Amino acid sequence: MQYRAPINDLKFLLFDVLAADDLQRLDRYAEATPDVMVAIMEEMGKFASEVLQPTNKVGDEQGCTYEPEKHEVTTPHGFKDAYQQFVQSGWSGLDAPVQFGGQGLPHVLKFIVDEMVCSTNMSLGMYPGLSHGAISALYSHGSQQLQETYLPPLISGQWTGTMCLTEPQCGTDLGLIRTRATPDDDGTYSVEGTKIWITGGEHDLSDNIVHLVLAKLPGAPDTTKGISLFVVPKFLPEGDERNAVFCGGLEHKMGIKGSATCVMNFEGARGWLVGEENDGMRAMFTMMNEARLMVGMQGLGLSEMAYQESLAFAQERLQSRSPAGAKNDSGPADPIIVHPDVRRMLMRQKVLNEGMRALALFTGLQLDLSVAHPNADTRQDADDLVQLLTPVVKAFLTDEGSNNANIGLQVLGGAGFTTDWPLEQLVRDGRIARIYEGTNGIQAMDLVGRKLGLAGGRLIKTLFGLLQGYLENNPDAAHSEQLRESMQALQDATDWIYSNGPQDPEQAAAAATPYLRLMALTVIAYLWSKMATTAAQKMAAGDSSALLQSKEVSARYFFEKLLPETRWLLADIKSGKESMMALSGDQWVA
């Protein structure tokens, strides 16, 4: 089926629930009027369905091909043309800095574009997606010369970017990297080493590929405190001379086969230092946090496509009769959408998708406020929320995106298990999102081990202040009691971690994953309360659209069927580490 961008839901969220139209009052986003934002959403919706989606299955079937003698990678048929249309339409620079050729529009619009791109061709979307992180890292940490050299072609899409972190012997523990950068007399560096799992490391879509590479300088500490960041282009910007960085092969993956995942060999490649010596991790985290939010949108995008396919199939597939009696008297059987178990699956997809979209756009809006609001306290509160929710967006949206793709396959039954239908590709493509840019367990550890204690616990206090303020200012808010109970569970869990984690770090680590999920469900409960309250107010004013009616029903489903999970998440956290860590070495095998 052809993808349908969820424009009505997006407009409801942006303007009725989140008041994103207020962004136009900020100097930085004065041009981001509601009309402009809607036009961008509608145009990307068309582009995604008409240009990106037709190349998705081809990309999965053909994959990328590697020519070892030339160290070159060819992308699947249609990818190059679609990419050129993407950059020529200006999508690659949507929220990029204006002074370097970007459009300077709100980040929340970029989130929406990312969802639509990932719904229709996640593999192709990864090439410009990684460029966006490179742009942010260079803009925040690069010298003026590096910015003037690299940002305009990266923003235009003429060049693409990568992030080169992982090596064969290390993934998350980057202190173990062996790539070295030796200073040269001209102020550049000679970079040597091997990086693996590099998205877009080599391809035929752009004129140049700009690698941001973590490496260690001579004499640097052999830990993360000794890591520096370097920009290493495929072609040197002066004279287009080929640099000594080559693709050594492609990874053989279960999904996202149209995305070139490369082994990259740096053989004395010329590079330039980004930021200060031994400060590479700080610069790289600018890029990584961008990528983590983008990966969250991958989970949501695939989940939305899975829901659309599931719903269309369930409305047409005839199978058995409804337990309540025949609903399709003129046919031999009823469509499977009448069966309660199918409704259970579809409702979970629908309600979680809309809740996750609300969480993502709320976070994107906070990102915009954190950089553009004139009030310093407002900027700080927004930044607190972005830092706190970044691992939540990445982990929860990819966990549930993957789950919803699997649920969609289940709705289709045997058809879903075949390549004749798109669900099995969505299942394969979406599985990686829970792993890369830091596994979801790492996201949970970041949340509990770093974000909860940051600035004396200010970040989590900002979140609780937001939630409590909402209930105080909206005493008649929909589902307020269930929201209050979930907030109390999150508070109890936070107190338990504060009490037990300092004495025994394993306790905090054992609680991390259920704690992240508890926070995600609580924040989504806040947003579903806002959505249901807004829908009720608009209906009371005379708007009886199907979307508003569905919001009330969907909110009820969330609070009755999904939010109760917070109770056992709290019980899981409070039960501690004991049963998890108790087995000795010889007890693992009976």
Q: E strand or H helix at 221, and its extent? A: none
Residues 374-403, mean pLDDT to the nearest whole number: 98
Query: Do 190 and 270 contact (CB within 8 A), yes or no?
Result: yes
Residue 216's pLDDT is: 96
* Diameter of the chain measured on Cα atoms: 84
pLDDT of residue 81: 98
102 and 130, same structural domain? yes
Residues 383, 157, 52, 438, CA torsion sign = negative
Q: Which of 290, 437, 560, 565 is catalytic?
A: 437
| Span 521-537, average pLDDT | 98
Residues 200 and 240 in one domain: yes
Give the list of residues 6+ apart from residue 488 with CB closer than 8 angstroms, or none: none
Of 182, 558, 505, 189, nearest to 352 by C-alpha is: 558
The per-residue pLDDT for range 456-508, each reduced to its tens digit, is 999 999 999 999 999 999 999 999 999 999 999 999 999 999 999 999 999 99
Within-domain flag for 345 = no
Count CB atoms within 10 A of the CB of residue 297. Answer: 32
Q: Are residues 187 and 216 in the same domain?
A: yes
User: Which residue, 486, 276, 521, is CA-closest to 396?
Assistant: 521
- Residue 180 inside a domain? The answer is yes
Task: Decide which of 278, 294, 326 is a domain's last residue.
Answer: 278
What's the confidence (pLDDT) of residue 240? 79
Which of 166, 148, 184 shows the shortest CA–CA distance to 227?
A: 166
Same domain, 91 and 55: yes
Cα 386 from Cα 398, distance rounded (Å): 17
Question: Is 208 part of any domain?
Answer: yes
Whether 143 and 179 share a structural domain:
no
Q: How far apart are CA 298 and CA 398, in angstroms?
A: 7
Strand partners, 496: none
Residues spanned by the domain of 99 = 7-147
Establish if 212 belongs to a structural domain: yes
CB 313 within 8 A of CB 159: no
Buried-exposed string 263-292: b where 16+ CB fall within 10 A, e elsewhere? bbbbeebbbbbbbeebbbbebbebbbbbbb
Check: CB of residue 390 under 8 Å from CB of residue 362: no
In a domain, 501, yes or no: yes
- CA–CA dist 160, 132 (Å, integer): 9
Residues 41 and 117 in one domain: yes
Tell me the pLDDT of the chain averaged across its residues: 96
- The three-state secondary structure class of 553 is helix
- 299 lies in some domain: no
Structure tokens at 285: 């985290």
Instruction: Tell me if residue 437 is catalytic.
Output: yes
Task: Average the pLDDT over 127-137 and give the result.
Answer: 94
Answer yes or no: is pLDDT of 74 > 80.
Answer: yes
Q: Are residues 187 and 143 in the same domain?
A: no
In a domain, 540, yes or no: yes
In angstroms, the Cα distances linking 297 to 275, 303, 309, 399 are: 29, 10, 18, 12
pTM > 0.85: yes or no: yes
Shared-domain flag, residues 225 and 133: no
Are 212 and 271 members of one domain? yes
**Same domain membership, residue 142 and residue 29:** yes
Q: Which pLDDT band, with edges at 50, 70 and 90, does 533 fall under? A: very high
Last residue of a domain, one of 256, 278, 300: 278
Please indicate, yes or no, whether residues 124 and 197 belong to a single structural domain of this protein.
no
Contacts of 466 (CB under 8 A, 6+ apart): 381, 385, 526
Domain harbouring 260, CATH code? 2.40.110.20
- The model's pLDDT over 304-362, given as tens digits with 9 standing for 90+, comes to 999 999 999 999 999 999 999 999 989 999 999 999 999 999 999 999 999 999 999 99
Is 390 contained in some domain? no
| 143-177 pLDDT per residue, tens | 999 999 999 999 999 999 999 999 998 877 887 89
Domain limit, last residue, from 257, 278, 299: 278
Closest by Cα among 447, 503, 443, 478 to 559: 478
**C-alpha of 394 from chain center:** 5
User: For the chain, how many structural domains are there in total?
Assistant: 3
Q: Is the same domain home to 15 and 55?
A: yes
CATH code where residue 91 lies: 1.10.540.10
Please state the rounded mean pLDDT for residues 406-423: 97
